[in-house]
Structure 1
């Protein structure tokens, strides 16, 4: 499962659970845990709603029930950064390796201020702990308004470097999706 206990999540593709309850786009909650009942192919997600009340979301892992939702749960529910913001930026990333891919999801929602520039976005990505850290000095890049932005870690310290002069223009509110490209790291 791509969700970890304590993680704040948002529904990005609406779905209906086994009890007929609709979970609309934008619904948020904190993931607590999951339980699987093999006899009935039942998967229960236990979540804390924004008011703090615990709720059970029941799903059945069968093709005629909620199996398609469970199979694509990482496309229905995404972890969200803890930062405040008025703009949600959908992040994807390259695959690095199995060990890091298990701990670091390929999809992530970053909540950030709409007026954030490229450097602020890169800093928020690192602060959220989103990209995988494989080896020493892992380095990623993304395209921002036609210019490149590098981000990663050097000697376990985060770094951000905007390419070009002047620095890339544009605001986060102008971008809905951002893909991080893996440039490598020292093993």
Structure 2
């Protein structure tokens, strides 16, 4: 009976392997909040420390930074260039602040005047005139390639923006 327990018992080595696999393989889901991802990564770090894996703070930070999506590339470059020495908790706080200041928004596009002439109306996806009230809608291609209508439609003057 003792032999059966030894055969079917889960070894500490296997638990350690599984925990490190999850930690090194975790990636933040695009569009989710970095705070919840940071909490998940910190809980995995605590589990690894309980298992006495023996990784240092720099390795933990490297793995956390590698788990982030492309949106955080500028933050990562800045962090590495400035050779910041932070704890994991400070790193997560910095990431939350970075996310809050950038709002995960697409870059703004500058829009100039629109003409209501037929030559401009026929151009490829630049300016389109709506029938009726003389509103002009500017469309741009987003990063995903789909056209997006811009806000700030001026009525009757042929301009896009807040002035009328």
Q: TM-score range by the shorter chain?
A: under 0.3
Higher relative contact order (CA 8 A, sep 6+): 1
TM-score (norm 1): 0.25
Higher share in helix? 2
